Amino acid sequence: MDFLPNELKCCKLTPWVLQEKTTVIYSQGQRATEFYYVKSGLIGLFHLLENGKESLLRIYQAGDYFGFRTLFSHDSYHCSAKVLKDVELDKIELHDLSAFITANPDFVHHLMIQLADELQDAEQRLAKASYTRSLDRVADSIMYLKKEFPEYAWTHREIAEFSGCETETEIRINQELKRKGII
């Protein structure tokens, strides 16, 4: 069942005009005061590592909600959300979390399922990163990203960040895969 933002109760809905690529929707460490719904485009969830490098953890597309985990935990965002492909968003502000949960039980259940799916995906990627070679991670990432988000032209840097390797490593592997006719 799809839940549209205008069906939600006990919240303020603000449509955002088109946001361009690289626009930061929220920053790592910023206090969470709202969550978002993607009407069109792509959003990347990035974590800034201590060494200054970014890691692309997740991608949201039309029909996805994001930013709610941190809001529900009364914490600061653990990642930054940035526009990958020009987007149109709805910003959803809660006045009272308990009232929102009570007024929208089916929607909250939907978010719990999304949380479980994202946790499972994160655990699988983490486990895979510990026992697979860079070649396999890059190849898997390229196939996944191009299959799930075919309308987006992925950069070497984005693929490297998603697969957990250096950009130079991704470029070398990408060239090797192309030379062998794998991609």
| Distance (Å, whole) CA 64 – CA 145 | 16
DSSP character at residue 60: E
pLDDT at 46: 96
For residues 85-90, give the mean pLDDT: 95
Residues contacting 151, CB < 8 A, separation 6+: 85
For residues 34-39, give the mean pLDDT: 95
CA atoms within 13 A on the CB side of 73: 10
Q: Which of 41, 43, 46, 37 is nearest to 83 (CA)?
A: 43
Per the CB < 8 A criterion, the answer to whether 167 and 160 are in contact is: yes
Angle formed at CA 127 by CA 125 and CA 130, multiple of 5 degrees: 105
Task: Kindly list the domain boundaries of the chain, sorted by start residue.
Answer: 5-103
List, as one string, the DSSP characters of 100-153: HHHH-HHHHHHHHHHHHHHHHHHHHHHHHHHHS-HHHHHHHHHHHHHHH-TTS-
For residues 1-7, give the mean pLDDT: 88
pLDDT at 1: 66
Question: 175 falls in which pLDDT band (50, 70, 90)?
Answer: very high
| Distance (Å, whole) CA 44 – CA 139 | 20
* Residue percentage of the chain with pLDDT more than 70: 99
Sequence letter at residue 53:
K
Question: 169 falls in which pLDDT band (50, 70, 90)?
Answer: very high
For residues 135-161, give the mean pLDDT: 94
Q: Which of 129, 152, 126, 136 is nearest to 59 (CA)?
A: 152
Cβ neighbours, 10 Å, residue 77: 20
Question: 64 falls in which pLDDT band (50, 70, 90)?
Answer: very high
Question: 139 falls in which pLDDT band (50, 70, 90)?
Answer: very high
pTM, full prediction: 0.87
For residues 158-170, give the mean pLDDT: 93
Cβ neighbours, 10 Å, residue 15: 12
Instruction: Give yes or no for residue 53 having a pLDDT over 90.
Output: no
Instruction: Give yes or no for residue 6 having a pLDDT over 90.
Output: yes
More confident: 181 or 91: 91
3-state secondary structure of 71: helix
Q: Topology of domain 5-103, per CATH?
A: Jelly Rolls (2.60.120)
